[in-house]
Amino acid sequence: MQPRVLAIVGVGLIGGSVGLAVRRNGGVRVLGVDCDTTALSRAKQRGIVDEACADLETAAAVADLVLFCTPVDRTVQQVLTAAAKCRAGTILSDVGSTKAAIQRSLHGRLPSRVAFVGGHPLAGSEKQGSESARPDLFRDRVVILTPTADSDAEAVERVSSFWQSIGARVQCMTPEAHDCAVALTSHLPHLVASALASLLPPELAELTAGGFHDTTRVAAGDPQLWSAILDANREEILSVLAPFEHRLRDFRAALDAGDREAVRSLLAAGRDRRSAIRPTA
């Protein structure tokens, strides 16, 4: 079920970690594609890929799985470019943080001899680049696949096996259910962390501790990458921003009134939901 030739398009943190994990397992020829040729040759030197390919179409023509680990606003164009050169039976998949917009854009535009399966590993870091890549980044992490009614069942199964082979647990859902879930579990936290971090005057940086550091960690992520994600999922994000703002108003009202029991009750609701999350290693 494993691909013989895997092309990784975009050898940053995610693509690089896929490369390290696959090469540790062995048995798969890993091609790296990246428009940043310096990043690409570094990835080759570090053993993240077997071969560096400057050209997407060349890699697409020989791969049987092409995995797009590119910013979400570039995925559609790159998938279309690659698909035109793929041999029959090639599977294309991605790791983008939003799914519905990409899959709607691709709908009806791919040659029938290839299959596209949307995917999103729930793993990452505020760090960027293949120098932060780790072969165990996906171990015990959830990878969401988002097949649609017209998805090829065998292709979905093969992409699922691929992720499982590098330690991930796979869940399938619709692209829309995915985008709705991650708006709350990932995109809103990013926006909130960024808003909080932006309020810190430089002279108070010395007076921050673990609470501030953790609450704002993701705000160190790449603004370019994240503005594309937030923009692609903006309707779902606006839908979860509203109840968040409402909850802040509840806190404001309780503090304004000096109603400590109301404050305690709001904090208890947060504590209960937070404590329901299974601790990760």
84 or 248, CB closer to a copy of itself? 248
29 or 139, CB closer to a copy of itself? 139
Least distance between a copy of itself and beta carbon 85 (Å): 30
C-alpha span between 280 and 56 (Å, rounded) = 36
Residue ranges in 241-270 that form contacts with a copy of itself under rule CB under 8 A = 241, 243-245, 247-248, 251-252, 255-256, 258, 260-261, 263-270
Write the binding mask 196 to 235 for a copy of itself: x where contact by CB under 8 A, - elsewhere.
xxxxx-x-xxxxxxxxxxxxxxxxxxxxx-xxx-xx--x-
Residue ranges in 76-135 that form contacts with a copy of itself under rule CB under 8 A = 122-125
C-alpha span between 180 and 233 (Å, rounded) = 8
Asked whether the beta carbons of 144 and 120 are under 8 A apart, the reply is yes
Least distance between a copy of itself and beta carbon 177 (Å): 10
Q: Which residues contact 236 (CB under 8 A, 6 or more apart)?
A: 179, 180, 183, 187
108 or 274, CB closer to a copy of itself? 274
149 or 205, CB closer to a copy of itself? 205
Question: What is the distance of C-alpha 246 from the center of its chain?
Answer: 28
24 or 127, CB closer to a copy of itself? 127
Which of 33, 34, 29, 40 lies closest to 6, judged by CA? Answer: 29
What are the backbone dihedrals phi and psi of residue 190, each rounded to the nearest 5 degrees, phi first?
-65, -45
Residue ranges in 130-149 that form contacts with a copy of itself under rule CB under 8 A = 141-142, 144
Residue 281 touching a copy of itself (CB under 8 A): no
**Helix, strand, coil percentages in the chain from 3-state DSSP, rounded to 5:** 55, 10, 35
